[in-house]
Amino acid sequence: MKKDTIFSLVTIALLVVRKGFAEIRLELPELLLNSSHPAKEEDTPVPDYIEGIWPPEFPADDNMWKDFVCKGDNLMKAMQASDANAGQLFSSGLLSAQSVWMSSDALATWGWHLYRGDDSLKVNFLEDGDEPGHSLRAALAALGLPNMPSRDASIGLEVARVDHFDDHMSKPIDEQTYTVGEKVYRATGASLKITINTGVGAIIRLELKSPEFAGREDRTPPIDKSGMPGLQRASDIM
């Protein structure tokens, strides 16, 4: 995927926040396709976006491009719609576009661990240098955002990571569990890295390994959908 395409997607995500829709959690991949381009079985699936790298074996083809254009069109419609009408743009036809998870306590309940102010969370938002960069200089400048990491989100870009496992536990991830109600769940090994700026008002997803992907590909034995955490959508966590 071209860098200017990534810039556009990031810009749209930031505009949602800057236009006052911070409470409307829109998950772009779940928005319905525009009727001018109905979903087809042969459409190229979008691979998980891991560690800030678009896998070279999955270049964006015409079908994928059309899918993102249509989803972007529906995102713009959702930004201008009422909460109820925006919810109908989701593939599951939600009654509301707002997240049902309104308390951060739900993170711990469902086995998520939040890390902030950690030296391991260093991120280069600009071009490649001593560390691989995200090449976000143009997008950040256009939105009036700082481009340097900071532990103070009001003046810079604070980086946080949310893992669906305990990084400080000696047990391997395959043996880590948590309990909700009377059911015991396994840690999936999922991880989400975001950056936040409260001065302007922005939240950017940098890296994502989803619970479904991690549970299926990384765990032994694999974790099926019945073992997924109730809180798993990236937009709900953000």
Say whether pLDDT at 115 is over 70: yes
The predicted-structure confidence for 164-190, as pLDDT tens digits, reads as follows: 999 999 999 999 999 999 999 999 999
Which tens digits make up the pLDDT trace of 12-48?
444 443 333 333 333 444 555 444 444 443 444 444 5
- Residue 121: predicted pLDDT: 81
Measure Cα distances from 158 to 22, 27, 184, 202 in Å. 17, 22, 33, 11
* Within a domain: 193: yes
Question: How does DSSP classify residue 11?
Answer: H
Greatest C-alpha distance within the chain? 52
| Residue at 94 is within a domain | no
How does pLDDT run across 42-90, given as a tens digit for each residue?
A: 444 444 544 445 555 566 778 888 888 888 888 888 888 998 888 888 7
Tell me how crowded residue 161 is: count the other CB atoms within 10 A of its CB: 18
Query: Domain range for residue 55?
Result: 3-87
Strands 113-116 and 202-209: unpaired
CA separation for the pair 168, 171 (Å, rounded):
9
What would the pLDDT profile of 200-210 be if each residue is shown by its tens digit? 989 988 899 99
Q: In what order do the strands lie in the sheet with 158-163?
A: 113-116, 158-163, 191-197, 202-209
Residue with tokens 């993170």: 107
- 129 and 41 both lie in a single domain: no
In contact, 67 and 43? CB cutoff 8 Å: yes
d(CA 55, CA 68): 17
Q: DSSP string spanning 174-228?
A: GG-EEEETTEEEE----EEEEEEETTTTEEEEEEEE-HHHHHHHTSSSPP-GGGS
Give a yes or no: residue 12 inside a domain: yes
- When divided into structural domains, the chain yields a total of 2
For residue 35, the model assigns a pLDDT of: 40
Count Cα atoms within 13 angstroms, Cβ side, for 129.
7
Tell me, yes or no, whether 80 and 135 share the same domain.
no
38 by Cβ neighbours in 10 Å (0-12 / 13-18 / 19+) ranks as exposed
Q: What pLDDT, on a 0 to 100 scale, did the predictor assign at position 188?
A: 98
123 and 231, same domain (yes or no)? yes
Residue that the structure tokens 């201008």 belong to: 80
What pLDDT, on the 0 to 100 scale, is given for residue 20?
Answer: 35
Model pTM score: 0.69
Residue 212's pLDDT band (boundaries 50, 70, 90)?
A: very high
Please tell me whether residues 57 and 145 are part of one structural domain. no
- Does 76 lie in the same domain as 23? yes
User: Is residue 46, in this structure, part of any structural domain at all?
Assistant: yes
Closest by CA position to 21, among listed 207, 238, 192, 209:
238
Token pair 């997924």 is at which residue? 228
Write out pLDDT tens, residues 116-134. 877 778 888 888 667 778 8
Asked whether residue 95 is assigned to any structural domain, the reply reads no
Q: Please identify which residue in the block is written with the tokens 């974790």.
A: 223
Domain boundary among 60, 87, 114: 87
